[in-house]
Amino acid sequence: MGLCRFGRLVEGVGVGRRRPFATSSSAAGGDEMIVRGTGSKSLNLYSAINQALHIALETDPRSYVFGEDVSFGGVFRCTTGLADRFGKQRVFNTPLCEQGIVGFGIGLAAMGNRAVAEIQFADYIFPAFDQIVNEAAKFRYRSGNQFNCGGLTIRAPYGAVGHGGHYHSQSPEAFFCHVPGLKVVIPRSPLQAKGLLLSCIRDPNPVVFFEPKWLYRLSVEEVPEHDYMLPLSEAEVIREGTDITLVGWGAQLSVMEQACKEAESDGISCELIDLRTLLPWDKDTVEASVRKTGRLLISHEAPVTGGFGAEISASIVERCFLRLEAPVARVCGLDTPFPLVFEPFYMPTKNKILDAIKSTVNF
């Protein structure tokens, strides 16, 4: 499927805000991190997700995984072996009905269970939009905190996959970032995917967890085999710099990293931030970086108009207006349906980002 176009993710990138590593199996939301090395294994992204699901099912008998074809491993093999190990009472197939999948998950979570619902492609999440937006997100609020469905996690592969066309390549994260009551999380690597997914499953709020399918097999790194969690709503500074701040998430981080390296050869120092959680997002980390660099560039695969980059831009302008030395730049997908043969023209590529970096720094 042409997954090698962006190359391999950078190895050895730390987690958290440049904090020292320390062992942890505690709940998300703190500063606890994890240790690489001992007890780790080289995994690709879909295998790391599979490992996280194994741990979730093993550590909590109230956990369930369900969706279209999940007992057979799913389209991307993320649920391989789960039904064989935990039984088809806990890992089971559903009808091809996204509204029903999420609706069932809401009921299951409302009864005190951990419901992990899989939407086969994020492009097909829209039939479940009413259940997610009007039911799951508002369940706690409408009941005056008497009831909730906080044990619901909705997994959905999103983004470009290499000529997937307009029904298998969309990035719909911005739709859900407009909904109070939800959390929206997107990992960029196997290490992140495992720790963030376990945090989502154990979080007391409904979560939409978008998985960058471009990286399912492409992204490979050492992942600890033990149970660990990474804090939600905490961005990660994965590259420090002084001239411009770059913000992204998911598969776009590998493209941005390449652009940062080329910019460095031209004497431009880039600070690169992985947002990781889009709702609620870590404004403080981005603000601190922009106050240092004076410039901001945001990149995402979704169309530019109404994309989540616009929210980041507006918030940072409100907070850092007097420190900005150039307009906030956005390098995003085009305002068209996701194309098939013209996908390379649609995507925010390394060269587009590099050009925007130079234009912003030289403004």
Cα–Cα dist 29/229, whole Å: 9
Angle at alpha carbon of residue 19, lines to 190 and 199, rounded to 5°: 45
Q: Is 98 a catalytic residue?
A: yes
For residue 341, the surrounding DSSP H or E stretch is none
Active-site pick, 168, 221, 287, 300: 168
The pLDDT > 70 percentage for the chain reads: 90
166 is catalytic: no
73 part of a folded domain: yes
What is the pLDDT of the chain when averaged over all its residues? Answer: 90
In whole angstroms, what is the distance from residue 116 CA to residue 108 CA?
Answer: 10
The domain boundary, picked from 176, 202, 224, lies at 224
Q: Which of 173, 195, 224 is the last residue of a domain?
A: 224
> How far apart, in whole angstroms, are the C-alpha atoms of residue 251 and residue 305?
20
Residue 142 has pLDDT above 80, yes or no: yes
Q: Residue for token digits 């609706």? A: 103
Mind giving me the DSSP string for 41-105?
A: EEEEHHHHHHHHHHHHHHH-TTEEEEETTGGGT-TTSTTTTHHHHH-TTTEEE--S-HHHHHHHH
Q: What is the pLDDT of residues 34-73, one digit of tens each?
A: 544 459 999 999 999 999 999 999 999 999 999 999 999 9
Domain assignment of residue 162, yes or no: yes
Q: Which residues constitute the domain of residue 122?
A: 40-224
Q: What is the largest CA-CA distance in the chain?
A: 60
The one-letter amino acid at 339: P
Given a cut of 90, whether residue 6 has pLDDT beyond it is: no
Residues 133 and 244 in one domain: no
Residue closest to 314 by CA, chosen among 327, 301, 331, 333: 327
Q: Do 249 and 220 lie in a common domain?
A: no
Question: Which of 313, 308, 354 is closest to 333 using CA atoms?
Answer: 308
106, part of any domain: yes
Q: In angstroms, rounded to a whole number, what is the distance separating the alpha carbons of residues 48 and 77?
A: 11
Residues 342 and 250 in one domain: yes
Answer yes or no: is 34 within a domain: no
**Is 60 exceeded by the pLDDT of residue 253?**
yes
For residue 324, is it within any domain? yes
**Domain check: are 332 and 247 in the same one?**
yes
- Answer yes or no: do 265 and 192 share one domain: no
- The reply to whether 246 and 201 lie within a common domain is no
- How do residues 190-224 score in pLDDT, each as one tens digit? 999 999 999 999 999 999 999 999 999 999 999 99
Q: Taking the model in full, what pTM does it have?
A: 0.90
Same-domain pairing of 64 and 161: yes
Q: Which of 32, 68, 98, 301 is catalytic?
A: 98
pLDDT at residue 162, rounded to an integer: 85
